[in-house]
């Protein structure tokens, strides 16, 4: 008998979780996972696999879960996905595998993401499934950046028997998984476990290594590397370029989240890096990063957290689940309004002057363009604002590698299928190529580039 609805996942209650940084969803039990897995129709011609940027064999792993054979389920996922505990938590499954799930045509789709997360967490509690490493090829590959693209490329290249070194400029590996996505959405212990897994395969990880400054891209070839993968991701935040942006109390989301996640400011003064959060925090933007910042603000002690977004709820770019979680936690959505200027009192921020918007004709992105409503200005009093309106590509490699072709927006130009760049032996993928995208898309790019690098090394 078909169960029309997904097996719910237990989660921390909103009024509890806004006071801690612990993960919000609590995961399936074995029984819950089996029950959910049995909802899968095991389609003869499954669509879900193509819906996954790294093509996880979803029906097969879900079938193993339905049988209670969790070890086989993990092995199946790991054949193509090197970061399942991460993907099971942060992938936009509703737009990917679950979006094309046959069950979803009439009922709720199979909760593939929750099952993936269950399998990965089960693995962590039991024997880690270490993929086999191929015979040593004697070829050396440097992977620049240890975010989702870099970690995926590194894992795949190592499995093919290459000697892989990951060069990371921060003091921890994981990139945006460590500095950007908050603990309550992706516990850092999970990222560390995945990185340790790569180390166990023989991937070397060098931290505090600023490629472009301490060694150039060309310098890496001189050091004996045979190929490079650049996965340096997103970089400097975009600002609004409106008056008052320099005021104390105005943060970029990158800085706000980096202080909290990477530097553990929420444990100040035990940890040395401070963060300033007032009674009320206004976050500007409507994407996942804005939701992360607004929810982080509550956990840092803000009494009110407001998301200011210039379009309406339908256009919010954030995942539905993130918006729901934010709403449950009592975050206010000030929609159809945009900031005009930040107001200061000589010391720091005291308010954000806003103007109401209405939606006009669709713009080049296909979304209806917000148009200011004349004489509708209003002020939100606040001493903390967070700007979450996107990032530029990370500047260092383009800046320091003159012969590498870069778009006018600063993205590295690379073939979407292979990651090949204008420089022979240099491949790139992830946000540094595409601009802001998802973790899993970056992983897909890392995976394709790893295959292309393997082919390049075979020919070279």
Partner 1 sequence: MNRILEKQQLGSCLWEFLIEAPDIARAARAGQFVILRLHEKGERIPLTIVETDDTVGGVRLVVQEVGKTTSEMIGGFGVGDALLDFVGPLGEPSEIARYGTTVCIGGGVGIAPIFPIARDLKAAGNHVIGVLGARTAELLFYEQKLAAVCDELYVMTDDGSRGQRGFTSDVLKRLLDEGREIDRVWAIGPPIMMKVCAEVTRPFGVPTVVSLNPIMVDGTGMCGGCRVEVGGRTRFACVDGPEFDGHQVDFDALMARLRIYADDEAESLDEHEVQPCSKRQEGAW
Interacting residues toward partner 1 by CB under 8 A: 169-171, 179, 207-210, 213-215, 234-237, 239, 241, 245-249, 251-252, 254-255, 258-259, 262-264, 267-274, 276, 347-348, 394-396, 399
Cβ proximity to partner 1, 130 vs 171, nearer residue: 171
3-state secondary structure of 293: helix
Cβ proximity to partner 1, 71 vs 215, nearer residue: 215
Cβ proximity to partner 1, 125 vs 246, nearer residue: 246
Cβ proximity to partner 1, 33 vs 302, nearer residue: 302
State the nearest-atom distance from the C-beta of 448 to partner 1, in Å.
25
Cβ proximity to partner 1, 268 vs 333, nearer residue: 268
Joined together, the tokens standing for residue 95 give 């737009």
Cβ proximity to partner 1, 50 vs 272, nearer residue: 272
Nearest residue to 102 (alpha-carbon basis) of 1, 7, 2: 2
State the nearest-atom distance from the C-beta of 364 to partner 1, in Å.
24
Quick count: other Cβ atoms within 10 Å of Cβ 114? Answer: 23
State the nearest-atom distance from the C-beta of 450 to partner 1, in Å.
24
Share in percent of the chain as helix, strand, coil (round to 5): 35, 20, 45
Q: Which H/E stretch holds residue 180?
A: none
Cβ proximity to partner 1, 66 vs 432, nearer residue: 432
Q: How many CA atoms lie within 13 A of 95 on its CB side?
A: 13
Whose tokens are 């977004």? That residue is 309
Contact present, 161 and 454 (Cβ < 8 Å): no
State the nearest-atom distance from the C-beta of 246 to partner 1, in Å.
4
Sign, Cα dihedral of 192, 193, 198, 199: positive
Q: Cα(261)–Cα(277) distance, rounded to whole angstroms?
A: 15
State the nearest-atom distance from the C-beta of 41 to partner 1, in Å.
44
State the nearest-atom distance from the C-beta of 176 to partner 1, in Å.
9
Cβ proximity to partner 1, 42 vs 223, nearer residue: 223
State the nearest-atom distance from the C-beta of 431 to partner 1, in Å.
12
β-strands 250-252, 384-387 pairing:
parallel
Q: Which H/E stretch holds residue 285?
A: none
- DSSP line for 356-393: EEEEEEE-TTSSEEEEEPTT--EEEE-SEEEE-S-EEE
Q: Which H/E stretch holds residue 172?
A: none
Cβ proximity to partner 1, 155 vs 285, nearer residue: 285
State the nearest-atom distance from the C-beta of 262 to partner 1, in Å.
8
Quick count: other Cβ atoms within 10 Å of Cβ 125? Answer: 7
Cβ proximity to partner 1, 63 vs 344, nearer residue: 344
3-state secondary structure of 353: strand
State the nearest-atom distance from the C-beta of 250 to partner 1, in Å.
9
State the nearest-atom distance from the C-beta of 255 to partner 1, in Å.
4
CA distance to 132, 205, 210, 250, 403, per residue, from 140 (Å): 18, 13, 19, 44, 22
Q: Cα(315)–Cα(365) distance, rounded to whole angstroms?
A: 11
């Amino acid at each position: 008998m078909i169960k029309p609805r997904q097996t719910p996942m237990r989660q921390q209650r909103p009024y509890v979780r806004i006071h801690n940084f612990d993960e919000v969803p609590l995961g399936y039990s074995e029984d819950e996972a089996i029950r959910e897995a049995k909802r899968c129709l095991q389609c003869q011609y499954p669509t879900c696999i193509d819906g996954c940027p790294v093509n996880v064999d979803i029906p097969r792993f879900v079938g193993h879960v339905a049988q209670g054979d969790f070890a086989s389920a993990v092995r199946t996922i790991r054949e193509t996905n090197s970061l399942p505990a991460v993907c099971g938590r942060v992938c936009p499954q509703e737009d990917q595998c679950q979006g094309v799930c046959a069950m979803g045509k009439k009922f709720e789709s199979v909760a593939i993401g929750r099952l993936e997360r269950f399998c990965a967490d089960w693995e962590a509690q039991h024997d880690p499934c270490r993929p086999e490493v191929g015979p040593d090829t004697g070829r050396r590959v440097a992977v620049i950046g240890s975010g989702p693209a870099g970690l995926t490329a590194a894992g795949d290249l190592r499995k093919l028997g290459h000697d892989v070194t990951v060069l990371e400029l921060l003091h921890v590996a994981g990139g945006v998984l460590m500095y950007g996505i908050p603990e309550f959405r992706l516990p850092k212990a999970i990222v560390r476990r995945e990185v340790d897994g790569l180390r166990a395969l023989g991937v070397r990880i060098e931290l505090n290594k600023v490629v472009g400054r301490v060694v150039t891209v060309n310098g890496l070839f001189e050091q004996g590397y045979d190929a490079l993968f650049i996965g340096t991701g997103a970089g400097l935040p975009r600002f609004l370029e409106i008056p008052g942006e320099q005021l104390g109390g105005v943060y970029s989301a990158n800085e706000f989240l980096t202080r909290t996640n990477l530097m553990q400011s929420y444990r100040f003064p035990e940890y040395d890096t401070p963060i300033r959060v007032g009674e009320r925090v206004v976050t500007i933007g409507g994407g996942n990063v804005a939701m992360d910042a607004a929810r982080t603000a509550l956990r840092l002690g803000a009494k009110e957290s407001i998301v200011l977004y210039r379009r309406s709820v339908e256009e919010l770019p954030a995942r539905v689940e993130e918006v729901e979680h934010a709403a449950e936690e009592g975050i206010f959505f000030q929609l159809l309004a945009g900031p005009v200027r930040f107001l200061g009192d000589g010391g720091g921020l005291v308010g954000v002057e806003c103007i109401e918007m209405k939606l006009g004709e669709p713009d080049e992105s296909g979304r209806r363009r917000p148009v200011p409503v004349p004489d509708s200005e209003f002020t939100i009093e606040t001493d903390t604002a967070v700007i979450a309106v996107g990032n530029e590509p990370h500047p260092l490699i383009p800046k320091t590698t003159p012969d590498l072709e870069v778009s006018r927006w600063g993205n590295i130009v690379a073939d979407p299928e292979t990651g090949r760049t204008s420089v022979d032996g240099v491949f790139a993928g992830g946000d540094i190529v595409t601009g802001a995208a998802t973790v899993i898309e970056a992983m897909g790019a890392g995976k394709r580039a790893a295959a292309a690098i393997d082919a390049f090394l075979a020919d070279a």
